Amino acid sequence: MTRSPRLAGAGAVVRRRLLVAVPVLAATSVGMFALGAASPVDPAKQYAGAAAFTASEENLAQLRANWGVDDPLPVQYLRWIGNLVQGDLGWSTSRHEPVASVLAARAGWTLLLIGVSLALVLVASLLLGALAAYRRGGLFDRVLRTAAYAVQSMPVFWLGLAAIAVFALALGWLPAGGLTDVTATSTSWGDVAHHLILPVAVLAVSQAPWFVLFVRDAVAESMRDDHVLAARARGLPGRTVLFGHALRTALLPFLTLVGTHLPELVGGAVLVETVFSLPGLGAVTVAAALGSDFPLLAAITLVTTAVVLAANLATDLAYAAADPRVRLDG
Amino acid sequence: MADLTARVPLLRVARSRLRLRPGRAGVLVAGLVLLVAVAGSLLAPLVWPLDQSAVALDQTRLAPSWSHLAGTDDLGRDVAHRAVYGLRVSLLVGAVAALVATVLGGVVGGIAGTLGGRVDRILMRIVDTIAAMPHLLLGIFIVAMLRPSLGAVIASVGLTHWLSTARIVRSELLSLRTRPFIDAAISGGAGRLRVLTRHLLPHVLPRLALATTLMIPHAVWHETALSFLGLGLPPHLASLGNMINDGQGSLLTGAWWASLAPGAVIVVVTLAIAVIAARWRDRLDPRVRAELHL
């Protein structure tokens, strides 16, 4: 079997990453479990809700026995983590259904929101950042940078409320929240798209400054590279030099940074979903937190972390595959 | 800490005899904004006391006017008045949480940077892995398990924000270790402890102070985000996040001003800290000139 020489070390890298990620995630899960065990909330009463006031002590004891919440903590931890590894994410006490089915029903909307926003941010930041770098210190560069710093200092939920105030309430162009029209009886994609314009735009705008500033700095840097100067000296048009030469060099490091920025996007998505009352993971997370729903919260946090780690690894491997100068040694 | 950020630029401005060059004007304005913000939030209880639980149901949702500069909210409370107290709470939480994060990050980064080698590699890999956890989710988890309170919010911010500080301290120490003056000190007979306290720390501390200052806006955002989700400070307490959350309801009935003032306060204070931190970084490291000159 012949392997691409560029990805020669890929297997070793994957193994080494796992060697660190698995113990760290395991340690984190112990920490989370300890925090959950120290929590003053009684899961049986939590589960019973208002009925806890009238439920007999036997019923509550039966609930505790069913879940084994009175077992020694290490036993409980091993049971929880064992189930988790086998794909059983547990039972959500705030939503009264399996955690896995909550994730299955909700994660899609969050992924859609994050995916579309990320695509928008990438296209816009590459375009705007490159244009700003072309005339460094020029009017466009200064305006864009000032705008980026201003947006960067706005909390995303406040930006969302401002967008609702302007585009939904004052102008009446777009709906203020929800996924479908209140009168709708079924989910049509056109309706959903119409409802997603504002949330996607808000998430994209709030994440854009970081990407725009990075692209701008990287392209400005590569505008001074020899091959870019040579291209200009040959008299190639500005657009070709900018997008064909300068941006191309700056593109690769950008790729890995996108991976490291994913956690920010997840946090932003949670807040945007709350502002626009979207039925994604955000609303469930907040409800689970208010109800101290340990299985659901822990599963959401650990699963997203695993997804982000996998995405980071994928971008690093893609980076190595795309750039022959990069050697996979870490 | 917040006090220091206000003092440093003012000293510098005083020294420059107030010559307003382009970059300086921004720093001067930012310094004034921060001075007003810090002094306002420290002195507010003396000058303009607020009864946190008071409501005026005959004055609900009044538009901004001379008697209510930022209008009133759903319960007839003066938005501008509560925003001052919200800033007070947010700056307090932000500063304390930033300090907690700095201590945590300083210890981890310090161990990695002074010991180097295998310890450094393992610690930094751990930091990288934890950095992959969405910190808002982790923060929500911590607050949910500890039940929402001031202490839980501070723990939530502190435990999720120490990674960048650890990285800064570690890389600073690693680069310092190779500098000739450290070799000179060691060959002059200085022991480990002396090198650490007399030669390494004085170089790391200014950077640590800068990192702490830059952390405050992040800590404030994290706190406001938690409060906005209803997971932060108790709802009757005026905090910037709580106020924006309250304002969400009145926004839909047309009272857009209830969320405007608290958000604007966050933006202005964050920008002021960013401008000053950028200038501060220029001073620390003149080779890498930051380009933030608003």
Q: Is there a contact between A308 and B133 if contact means CB atoms under 8 Å apart?
A: yes
What number is the average pLDDT over the span A3-32? 75
Of B137, B144, B231, the CB nearest to A266: B137
Q: pLDDT tens digits for A62-94?
A: 777 776 666 777 888 888 888 877 777 777 777
Residue pair B103/B161 in contact (Cβ under 8 Å)? The answer is no
Q: Does B291 touch chain A (CB under 8 A)?
A: yes
Integer Cα distance of B222 and B161 in angstroms = 10
Instruction: Check residue A315 and give its pLDDT.
Output: 82
B 218-257: CB under 8 A from A: 221, 224-225, 228-231, 244, 247-248, 251-252, 254, 256
List, in order, residues 6 or more apart from A124 with CB less than 8 Å away. Answer: A204, A208, A212
pLDDT at A36 over 50: yes
What number is the average pLDDT over the span A203-224? 86
Integer Cα distance of A36 and A294 in angstroms = 6
Average pLDDT of chain A to the nearest whole number: 79
Who has greater pLDDT, A179 or B231?
Answer: B231
Residues of chain A positioned with their CB less than 8 A from the CB of B291: 145
Instruction: Check residue B23 and give its pLDDT.
Output: 63
- As given in the structure block, the two tokens for residue B231 are 């997971």
Report the range of poorest mean pLDDT among A255-259, A298-302, B172-176. Answer: A255-259
Q: Which residues of B241-256 are buried (b: 16+ CB within 10 A; e: fewer)?
A: bbbbbbbbebbeeebb
Say how many C-beta atoms besides its own lie within 10 A of residue A124's C-beta: 16
Residues of chain B positioned with their CB less than 8 A from the CB of A270: 134, 136-137, 140, 229
Instruction: Check residue B106 and give its pLDDT.
Output: 92
Residue with tokens 């200014």: B206
Instruction: Check residue B76 and give its pLDDT.
Output: 65
Residues of chain A positioned with their CB less than 8 A from the CB of B271: 149-150, 153
Residues of chain A positioned with their CB less than 8 A from the CB of B137: 266-267, 270, 285, 297, 300-301, 304
Instruction: Check residue B53 and give its pLDDT.
Output: 66
Residue of A nearest to B125 (CA): A20
Residue of B nearest to A293 (CA): B144
Q: Is there a contact between B134 and A301 if contact means CB atoms under 8 Å apart?
A: yes
B 189-218: CB under 8 A from A: 217
Number of residues assigned to chain A: 330
Q: Is there a contact between A153 and B217 if contact means CB atoms under 8 Å apart?
A: yes
* pLDDT > 70 in chain A, percent: 85
- Exposure on the CB side of residue A315, measured as CA atoms within 13 A: 17
Q: Does B159 touch chain A (CB under 8 A)?
A: no
What number is the average pLDDT over the span A230-242? 82
Strand partners, A92: A97
Who has greater pLDDT, A6 or B182?
Answer: B182
Weakly modelled stretches of chain B, pLDDT under 70: 1-23, 51-63, 66-70, 74-76, 254, 285-294
Integer Cα distance of A232 and B245 in angstroms = 53
Q: Is there a contact between B134 and A24 if contact means CB atoms under 8 Å apart?
A: no
Work out the end-to-end distance of chain A between its first and last CA atoms, rounded to an integer number of angstroms. Answer: 24
Residues of chain B positioned with their CB less than 8 A from the CB of A41: 147
A42 three-class SS: coil
Of A24, A260, A289, the CB nearest to B144: A289
B 117-146: CB under 8 A from A: 122, 125-126, 128-138, 140-146
What number is the average pLDDT over the span A168-197? 71
- Using only C-alpha atoms, chain B has a radius of gyration, in whole angstroms, of 22
Q: Is there a contact between B267 and A150 if contact means CB atoms under 8 Å apart?
A: yes
Q: pLDDT tens digits for B179-217?
A: 888 888 888 888 878 888 888 888 888 888 888 888 888
3-state secondary structure A280-311: CHHHHHHHHHHCCCHHHHHHHHHHHHHHHHHH
Integer Cα distance of B194 and B208 in angstroms = 20
ipTM: 0.82
Give A191 to chain B, closest Cα distance, Å. Answer: 21
Q: pLDDT tens digits for B237-281?
A: 778 888 888 777 777 776 777 778 888 888 888 888 888 887 887
